């Protein structure tokens, strides 16, 4: 590391990586705890992760479940916010609580230098006693290996790049993936007059339609606040049993129903299994003659920037509800089913942030107590090191 970079080192008590809803939630509780921290985010503006999604996207939960701690969402409780409304809310949240977000700071490496964590981002170096990686599991688009075998005449796009029907060429469309994103994109395409197929396993659907007084007052709170938030957690037998499956499979359809797809004219098909003569072939052997493929096939977490021994032999991140035992002072917030089914949802991330900041502050208090208990001569030495 050259001298110019060394000179730009900055020291904080805590560094938060990610300025989305998870990072801002952590920042809210760190601000209340009175520690010196910074939030590093790769986007140009707070909320950009939402702004860059497809144009017609609305959240899959109504506004009453889309607020972070300390600030209600500015919309009627049964309104499904647009992606831009959510982005603007997050930006306003950061301003309201004066959260120290630094945009344009893509983190390239997290490592340790002795007892301190070192974070390299944007040509600068940051040091801290503790780091919270507040990023979702949805970072790197997942594509099947055979995607590269499709004909070059077929336009391929991942849902992270899809914006509107204008982004694909005329002709039939295969939407690969039957989860919430795939269903909503398919509805949009077929309404634009496109012949549209949705391929993939049945993800199931919520046991009620998201409309009506009783649904909003009783059924949705039961699902979001009770089942996703209290029952399906790593602290319950049911949650521990369900977690491995939920980490691998798509969330059940919440707003768009299977009957909606049928009524709109979307054709459901078997899962895409490979390629034959440059065209997608399904598990049942059917070959689809389409001009476009929209891959709604999910995401990989992206932890390649973490240069720490916190992964198992299969490369899986090792943590307990976001606390990394192998690296004291390192924490995660925002991951899918981190603690509960609601952990990656807006209404659930605040609880995880509060819990992780509590763990973080407890570790700081224990460290302070150890320093105070040192004999005077060792205390002087510890101060010199710090």
In a domain, 98, yes or no: yes
Residues 306 and 335 in one domain: yes
Cα-based distances in Å from 177 to 55, 183, 370: 19, 8, 53
How confident is the model at residue 301, as a pLDDT? 75
How confident is the model at residue 225, as a pLDDT? 87
Look at the pTM and tell me if it is higher than 0.95: no
Distance, in Å, from the CA atom of 342 to the CA atom of 232, rounded to the nearest integer, reads 8
Residues 160 and 182 in one domain: yes
Q: Do the Cβ atoms of 282 and 273 come closer than 8 Å?
A: yes
In a domain, 211, yes or no: no
Q: Which of 299, 314, 337 is the last residue of a domain?
A: 299
How confident is the model at residue 288, as a pLDDT? 96
Q: Do the Cβ atoms of 50 and 328 come closer than 8 Å?
A: no
How confident is the model at residue 274, as a pLDDT? 95
In a domain, 240, yes or no: no
In a domain, 246, yes or no: no
Residues 150 and 121 in one domain: no
The per-residue DSSP string of 75-144 comes to S-TT---BHHHHHHHHHHHHHHTT--EE-S--EEEEEEETTEEEEEETTEEEEEEEEEEE--S--EE---
Distance, in Å, from the CA atom of 96 to the CA atom of 99, rounded to the nearest integer, reads 8
In a domain, 116, yes or no: yes
Residues 284 and 146 in one domain: yes
Residues 67 and 107 in one domain: yes
Q: Which of 299, 334, 365 is the last residue of a domain?
A: 299
Residues 184 and 271 in one domain: yes
Tell me how far the alpha carbon of residue 117 is from its chain's centroid. Answer: 23
Q: Which of 264, 299, 334 is the last residue of a domain?
A: 299
Domain count, the chain: 2
In a domain, 216, yes or no: no
How confident is the model at residue 9, as a pLDDT? 87
Residues 128 and 263 in one domain: no
Residues 43 and 190 in one domain: no
In a domain, 241, yes or no: no
Residues 100 and 51 in one domain: yes
Residues 264 and 359 in one domain: no
Handedness of CA 243, 244, 250, 252 (dihedral sign): negative
Instruction: Flag residues of the chain having pLDDT under 70.
Output: 1-8, 137-139, 213, 376-386
**Among the listed residues 64, 61, 50, 63, the one whose alpha carbon sits nearest the alpha carbon of residue 22:** 50
CB-neighbour burial class of residue 6 (10 A; exposed 0-12, middle 13-18, buried 19+): exposed
Which domain covers residue 290, as residue numbers? 141-205+252-299
How confident is the model at residue 383, as a pLDDT? 54
**Among the listed residues 103, 282, 286, the one whose alpha carbon sits nearest the alpha carbon of residue 178:** 282
Residues 31 and 116 in one domain: yes
Structure tokens at 61: 């939960």
How confident is the model at residue 381, as a pLDDT? 56
Residues 82 and 26 in one domain: yes
For residue 72, give the CATH number of its domain: 3.50.50.60
In a domain, 58, yes or no: yes
């Amino acid at each position: 590391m050259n001298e110019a970079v060394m000179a730009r080192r900055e020291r904080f008590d805590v560094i938060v990586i990610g300025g989305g809803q998870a990072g801002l939630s952590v920042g809210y509780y760190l601000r209340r705890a009175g520690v010196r921290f910074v939030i590093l985010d790769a986007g140009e503006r707070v909320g950009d992760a939402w702004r860059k999604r497809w144009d017609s996207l609305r959240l899959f939960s109504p506004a009453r479940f889309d607020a972070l701690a300390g600030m209600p969402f500015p919309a009627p409780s049964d309104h499904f916010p647009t992606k831009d409304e959510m982005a603007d809310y997050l930006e306003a949240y950061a301003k309201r609580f004066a959260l120290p977000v630094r945009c344009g700071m893509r983190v390239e490496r997290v490592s340790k230098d002795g007892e301190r964590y070192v974070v390299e981002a944007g040509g600068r170096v940051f040091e801290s006693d503790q780091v919270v990686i507040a990023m979702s599991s949805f970072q790197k688009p997942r594509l099947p290996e055979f995607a590269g075998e499709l004909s070059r005449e077929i336009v391929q796009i991942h849902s992270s790049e899809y914006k509107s029907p204008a982004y694909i060429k005329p002709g039939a469309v295969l939407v690969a993936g039957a989860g919430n994103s795939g269903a909503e994109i398919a509805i949009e395409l077929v309404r634009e007059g496109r012949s549209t197929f949705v391929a993939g396993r049945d993800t199931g659907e919520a046991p009620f339609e998201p409309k009506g007084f009783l649904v909003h007052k009783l059924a949705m709170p039961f699902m979001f606040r009770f089942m996703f938030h209290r029952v399906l957690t790593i602290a319950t037998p049911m949650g521990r049993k369900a977690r491995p499956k939920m980490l691998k499979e798509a969330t059940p359809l919440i707003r768009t129903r299977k009957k909606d797809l049928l009524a709109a004219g979307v054709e459901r098909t078997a899962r895409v299994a490979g390629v034959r003569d440059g065209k997608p072939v399904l598990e049942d052997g059917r070959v689809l003659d389409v001009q476009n493929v929209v891959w709604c096939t999910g995401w990989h977490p992206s932890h390649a920037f973490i240069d720490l021994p916190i992964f198992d032999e299969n490369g899986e991140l090792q943590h307990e509800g976001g606390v990394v035992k192998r690296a004291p002072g390192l924490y995660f917030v925002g991951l899918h089913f981190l603690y509960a089914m609601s952990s990656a949802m807006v209404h659930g991330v605040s609880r995880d942030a509060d819990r992780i900041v509590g763990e973080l502050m407890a570790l700081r208090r224990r460290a302070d107590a150890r320093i105070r208990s040192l004999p005077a001569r060792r205390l002087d030495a510890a101060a010199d090191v710090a």
